[in-house]
Amino acid sequence: MAQIAGVVAFMILSVVPLIALFTILGALFTRVVSEAQAVIASAPGRAFAIGLVNAVFLSVVCLALAGIVEGLGWQVFIVPLVFVLWVLMAGITVGLSAVAQHVGARLEPADPPWSALRRSNMGALALVLACYVPVLGWFIVLPYVGLLGLGADILAILRRGRRGSRDAPSTGDPDG
């Protein structure tokens, strides 16, 4: 019985920091999160596929770097290993913030509409609670939303980069 109480206490105490994390990421990376949310709304299958491919690729890179460190003892490869892991986790986490905002927007009642903060918090709460469901949440919901968020984040960054290069001022002849 004490173990069950401990698990329930952990779940309750971990919900608040996760909601705060998703809310803060949405506030700090507003453009990327809103672009990623738009990608999730318009092309969720494509975002999931891109997230899956990139997660597999980066995982293989991490395993190769870890194998080099372990097998050959080349400790210098710990730095790129940590960097690749950091990039993967940052992409997933910022992407999850976009997924939380998308879920909050889908849950929003018609009248009265929620504020952006409440929409983000309700989406994050629903997302975290869905991921806590035994087996289904752990092995289906969590990987799906993580890969969806990673792919949407990558597509949002690429979309923003393409738009930035088109909007850049030309350095050539003003007449041509």
The pTM for the full model equals 0.85
The pLDDT of residue 155: 96
**CA 52 to CA 167: how far, in whole Å?**
30
**CA 93 to CA 148: how far, in whole Å?**
11
Query: What are the structure tokens assigned to 19, written together?
Result: 């909601």
Q: Is the predicted pLDDT of residue 153 greater than 70, yes or no?
A: yes
| pLDDT (tens digit per residue) in 104-118 | 999 988 788 888 889
| pLDDT (tens digit per residue) in 18-37 | 999 999 999 999 999 999 99
Buried b / exposed e over 115-124, threshold 16 CB at 10 Å, is: eeeebbbbbb
The pLDDT of residue 166: 59
**CA 95 to CA 101: how far, in whole Å?**
10
Share of residues in the chain with pLDDT > 70 (%)? 93
**Residue 84 burial by Cβ neighbours in a 10 Å radius (0-12, 13-18, 19+):** middle
Q: Mean pLDDT, to the nearest integer, of 60-89? A: 92
